[in-house]
Amino acid sequence: MLSIVKTLAAELQKSEEHVGNVIKLLDEGNTVPFIARYRKEMHGTMDDQTIRTLADRLQYLRNLEARKEEVKKSVEGQGKLTPELTEAIDNAVTLAEVEDLYRPYKQKRRTRATVAKEKGLEPLAATLYAQEPACPDPAAEAVKYLDPEQKVFTVEDALAGASDIIAEWISDDAAIRKHLRALFVQCADVVSAAAKKDPEDSVYRNYYNFCAPVCKIQGHQVLAVNRGEREEVLKVNISMNRDAAINVVCRYALKSPACRSTAFVRAAAEDAYDRLIFPSVEREIRAMLTESASEGAIGQFALNLRPLLMQRPVKGFVTMGLDPGYRMGCKVAVVDGTGKVLDTAVVYPTYGEKQKQECITKLASLIRKHSVRHIAIGNGTASRETEQMTVELIASLGHGTDVSYVIVNEAGASVYSASPLAAKEFPEYDVNLRSAVSIARRLQDPLAELVKIDPKSIGVGQYQHDMPEKRLSEALDAVVEDCVNAVGVDVNTASAPLLSRVSGLNSGVAAGIVKYREDNGMFTARRQLLKVPKLGEKAFEQCAGFLRVPESKNVLDNTAVHPESYAAAERLLALCGYTDEDVRAGRLTGIRDRIKEQGTAKLAAACGVGVPTLNDVVTELMKPGRDPRNDLPAPVLRKDVLSVKDLIPGMELKGTVRNVVDFGAFVDIGVHQDGLVHISRIADRFVRHPSEVVSVGDVVTVWVVEVDEKKNRISLTMKKPKV
């Protein structure tokens, strides 16, 4: 354990004490959000992402240690474990190194070398591979091993078998493989070409004659050639200078240039490289690139998902959701400020001018009837026509009505609407109308609605369907968990899916909370949660600080102050001359000055907490019930629409970042097709990745560079054009 703590502390640049504390907390069953928020004194205020990185590396290092023990036990069982091998295994820092050391002792399938050994040719191979000064001539030595019963009829047969054995020994040499792997990473290229002689134009056209160094190839390029290879559009391989690689192998394999067996061993070394090592290392390099690209893509997906979930909610307004469509029409749902469905309809704005006018009349009636303030339009099929109709609809309402619209990313809405959860929530509505409800609610509270959907279906990544499913799910679920707990959850209004994402709760306990609420009425205190079946003291400890009870008489129940710190909060208020009523009325604006006057550390000690916890308590007392998302930019509300034909180069526009990928960012500028800001046009400085500059949900200023209507492409720039 000590070596793992040292390793993690060095990698994360944190103290060994703090790393050790986090490991202890994780092993005790504490969740990452709970540790990050309520155990800051123990870990030096690491954030949730750092703690998750620590947890991932901890698991890897523990698996590494377990594998080392397995390998040593296996080799020892063969009677071949030496002190030198033990030391080499103990010093290995990756699983690949451990497997390289274990390779000579691993149970192998039947190979050419094992066949040669069965024929009794291993002593011949050992004599020739030793390359000692007194080494005999290979052909002369081979005569001793002729054995018709073993089917070794000629000198050539004997030497061929010895060569196979030496080749396998060389291939199993851990030092050779380690050196070659490093050489490939530094000097090899990834090469792809069209699989067919006369390929058709396709999305892979950029890879029909493609070559990139292994050390420089981009993650999205790796994933693209991998997919093209799977679809049999591309042929992909690793290209490496053979002479340079052979020199590395021979540097280890050849011991004496004057020895009579040197030429024979060199030939065996070349055979080892061509037949055994190169194909193996090529697979390893491809796997390494794919794993790295996948981790990068998963990381980018998670990075994009976080701001999407944390978009500023547009709460408290009656909202109309429009789920556009052609054949099945446009589905309509009106929900009140809390998301309760007030009305539904189906209209057909794409069927013709008459039907469009009927649609406008119908929707105008619903807007007036329910005092609709905002219209949320899904960005899927027929959204462009629906948006144009919405602009005409808003114009028809006259100047007395303040109605605006927003294009909402509807990815995953159809998945949700067809799910058992949606059927249970809206049994009276068909699948299509459920989508319209979801779209409306996504504007009102993106987080509460999106947690009902599998994060992989939200669609803010690249090549997400090519990712290792388990790893992708773990990463995205972690983002959802962190976001939900960062915002906090109203225990009296939250759905079971939202509650299940709270620290310490699972779907069963979340359902129990909802049932208890339905059977007994609203919760009036946090401690009341302990009456929920299967919600014990440990679960309460983990979840309590993230659940809000606005109806409680205790104002602290509607803050992120943990119940374990209530006494400290009350002591703090008393020492600073404030009351609960001051907290409710928002009269704590001067509390930080009073704390500073008394001394922060001294006051924290008097309250029985550390300075980080004291600061968190103060923040919560100043704004009880605060939603951190309210500090973010509001979504762009529109009343008019642009067409692609309206766009001209140089035009300045405001847009919302919809997706960030390795090669740029896609921005919604109010036309049906998102525009692409290539990474080279994101900033006036060098940018390694677009995420350094923009995030999903950012409102940015862009300028039109080029419009290709035939290919439905819009090129944008965030660099202000020179006048």
pLDDT score at 26: 97
Within 188-236, residue ranges assigned H as helices are 219-230
Give 217's contacts (C-beta < 8 A, 6+ positions apart). Answer: 190, 289
In which residue are the tokens 């602009």 written?
391
pLDDT score at 642: 64
The low-confidence residues of the chain, meaning pLDDT below 70, are 1-2, 400, 459-461, 639-642, 672, 723
pLDDT score at 635: 76
pLDDT score at 402: 86
**What ranges do the domains of the chain cover?**
2-105, 112-301, 319-444, 488-550, 558-624, 644-717
651 to each of 459, 716, 717, how far by Cα in Å?
29, 10, 10
Q: Which residues pair with 242 in a beta bridge?
A: none
In which residue are the tokens 């052909």 written?
139
What's the CATH code, domain 488-550?
A: 1.10.150.310
Q: Which of 250, 275, 247 is nearest to 113 (CA)?
A: 275
CB burial of residue 663 (10 Å; 0-12, 13-18, 19+): middle
pLDDT score at 717: 94
Domain 2-105 fold: Arc Repressor Mutant, subunit A (1.10.10)
Q: How many helices, marked H, and strands, marked E, lie in the chain?
A: 31, 15
Task: Locate 100 and state its tokens.
Answer: 């390289």
Strands 374-378 and 341-347: unpaired
Task: Locate 170 and state its tokens.
Answer: 């060389």
The listed CATH number (1.10.3720.10, 3.30.420.140, 3.40.50.720, 1.10.40.30) that belongs to domain 319-444: 3.30.420.140
112-301 homologous superfamily = Tex N-terminal region-like (1.10.3500.10)
Task: Locate 588 and state its tokens.
Answer: 């704590």
How much is the pTM? 0.81
CB atoms closer than 10 angstroms to residue 180: 25
Task: Locate 711 and state its tokens.
Answer: 């290919």
644-717 homologous superfamily = Nucleic acid-binding proteins (2.40.50.140)
- Per residue in 193-207, pLDDT tens? 999 988 888 889 999
- Per residue in 498-523, pLDDT tens? 999 999 999 999 999 999 999 999 99
